[in-house]
Structure 1
């Protein structure tokens, strides 16, 4: 049995990314029900809102799910951590900050802890602190990204070599071939965000899904390099606005306001693509349908098995 599936008690070694404030119970529950690990993102939501979503997830599924806590930006950080215990959440992923103050506390309560990293050094630190699983995210990923700009293909084998706990790859994965490639690199599974947006259960504005379907290999844009706040977005008119702001010498506060969660919701949930941004990874160029979550996961796993069988029968292996 796959070690990641064994630890997470899932059928498939596929995890949903946190997705910040556009994360919602319906998609989280659907992914867990389909055999993956759904993830509810706490984002910058108040603890009361996070709790409402947790309760809704538990009403929709009895399967394991994860709560992602972005440490540096969560305004009710300690209250949200307390919700993990109140609602008996068995898996937590920690991102966007130093996980040291939280890993031991969570593990004492029997919580499986995932740490999201962008380098070998961060992975080794997380393992030393007691993390159970590492999610190593490459530069292909959507949204806020590391200034290291290390690609998934190069990051994963180095992290796998450096730690002894299971490694999950994030960034640039959205089909069965990608899943197989990641497993071949030594990882135990994958984490996906953008691909789950283009599913029937994703409660986002239809325009978001339509633009993902129309995207291509150059359909995403990186903004924020000029101020050290790297973010990968779907290329839209609002992305061009952000680029113009950078060219004119935008301040950190101005950029943060222009890319905050209010702007994210404006684009992703309300469909106001001239007023807010749409997070998207480079995998968007491969997305050409909007299946159910169940069909997506089954198709990915079957494709990975078929690709492996083909390789085994060819002269390559």
Structure 2
């Protein structure tokens, strides 16, 4: 068992990304039941709403689940921390802010802490603050992204070199080849969001799933650069409207209002794609089926083994050629 699996008490090194206000118990439980780590994203939801989702997820699975707390997004950081303790949630994921003030409080209670970062500097600071593991998120990822726009391929090996705790890769991974690739870069596993949207258990609108299944390699784009708020979305009438508004001048506050979690729910859960948005990573272009979560994870592991074996065989051929 690798370090990440041992740390999180899971069977496969696959973590579900937090999905903000479209988080739900059925998908989270399905990921955990399949041997990964299911995650509830708190988004901007009130603590009472998050608590109900946590309780339902725990009714559906006895395996570990996590709560993602986006520190600069939610106004309820302290209250959400209390829910982690109250419901014995074994893992917390901290993102979108400085985790240092909060890590010791979770560690005192035996909660494992994952910190989501997008730079070597922040990975080092998270480890120094007591984080148990790092999720290093590249520019390819869906949703709120880093202004640094560093790709997963370049980010992972640099962070792995800089810290001693396990690192999972996020952004641009949705199949076994991607898993094998990031493992070869030194990561211990992956965190995925977009791939889990296109599954039977994900209770999102069918139009959201269809957009992913029909996506080409250029079917996502970045909005928010003009406002300093990077976000990767699937192309829809609403996302195109956002880009047009940016061209004509859009304040950070206006952009925030147009990309808040209510607009997220309108697009993802209600399918009104001219009135709300849907997040999507660049991996969307590789997704062409919506199987069960269990099938996704099992296929990923098998594909990763095949990819690793294939790479090993190719390297042996190079070695053999050099020895002649």
- What is the TM-score of this pair, normalised by structure 2? 0.97
Residues 60-92 of structure 1 show CA distances to partners (whole Å, capped at 9, x for unaligned) of: 000001100001111222111100000001000
| Moved segments of 4+, more than 4 Å | none
Distance 2:58 2:12 in 1: 20
Give the 3-state SS of the residue equivalent to 1:5 in structure 2.
Answer: helix
Residues 35-80 of structure 1 show CA distances to partners (whole Å, capped at 9, x for unaligned) of: 0000010110000000000100010000001100001111222111
State how 1:257-296 maps to structure 2 within 5 Å. 257-296=257-296
Structure 1 unaligned residues grouped into runs of 5+: none
What is the match of residue 113 of structure 1?
113
What is the match of residue 3 of structure 1?
3
Q: What is the CA distance between 1:307 and its match in structure 2?
A: 1.4
Q: What is the CA distance between 1:164 and its match in structure 2?
A: 0.4
RMSD value, Cα: 0.8
Residues 127-170 of structure 1 show CA distances to partners (whole Å, capped at 9, x for unaligned) of: 00000000000000000100000000000000000000000100
Distance 1:117 1:311 in 2: 29
State how 1:1-317 maps to structure 2 within 5 Å. 1-314=1-314, 315-316=317-318
Give the 3-state SS of the residue equivalent to 1:39 in structure 2.
Answer: strand
Q: What is the CA distance between 1:261 and its match in structure 2?
A: 0.4
Query: Which of 114-123 and 68-77 deviates more?
Result: 68-77
Distance 1:261 1:3 in 2: 34
Q: What is the CA distance between 1:310 and its match in structure 2?
A: 2.1
Q: What is the CA distance between 1:316 and its match in structure 2?
A: 4.7
Q: What is the CA distance between 1:312 and its match in structure 2?
A: 2.3
Residues 219-271 of structure 1 show CA distances to partners (whole Å, capped at 9, x for unaligned) of: 00100001100000001110110001101101111111100000000000000
Structure 2 unaligned residues grouped into runs of 5+: 320-324
